[in-house]
Amino acid sequence: MRRIWILHGPNIRFIGRGRESKWYGTESWEGFWPALQTRYQGVAELSYFESAYEGQLIEWVWQTEAYDGLILNPGALAHSSYALYDALLGCGKPCIEVHVSPIYRREAFRRRLITAAACKGVISGLGWYGYELAVQALLHLMREGSEASAS
């Protein structure tokens, strides 16, 4: 069974609790998380951590040796954190970046994703469903990787 670590950056916890429902919807992570875990039970072990602090996220990225892949929603740090980018490049694990809101339909500064360049892919604008797609993408990448190493 694959182990996937989901990391959230600043302000994700406020989605579904009054944070710009126009962009983020009304469902909270706490409302979505149990369904995601249930959906992948027996296929992937999902773990979740959240921090508003850039340094903590970087420390967690460097602690991924027990995991097969990473899903990261860095929040606004996606637009500014070269340190998080460097950690993602160096950790040696595949990462999918997820953004709940449609970043390319929002303010211009949100369209520049520094951290995305260190990730295998980016999912944006599909709400919490983006996390399900990210799990599927990581599982696919891991299958491809294990098949290639078996050849």
* Size of the chain in residues: 151
Domain that holds residue 139: 2-150
CA gap 57, 35 in Å, rounded: 24
Q: Is 140 a residue whose pLDDT tops 70?
A: yes
pLDDT digits (tens, 9 = 90+) for 39-72: 999 999 999 999 999 999 999 999 988 899 999 9
Q: Is 26 a residue whose pLDDT tops 70?
A: no
pLDDT for residue 151: 43
pLDDT digits (tens, 9 = 90+) for 107-139: 776 677 899 999 999 999 999 999 999 999 999
pLDDT digits (tens, 9 = 90+) for 85-95: 999 999 999 99
- For residue 44, what are its two tokens? 């992937």
Total number of domains constituting the chain? 1
Packed helices 129-150 and 29-39: angle between N→C axes, nearest 10 degrees: 30
Catalytic residues: 24, 99
CATH number at residue 7: 3.40.50.9100
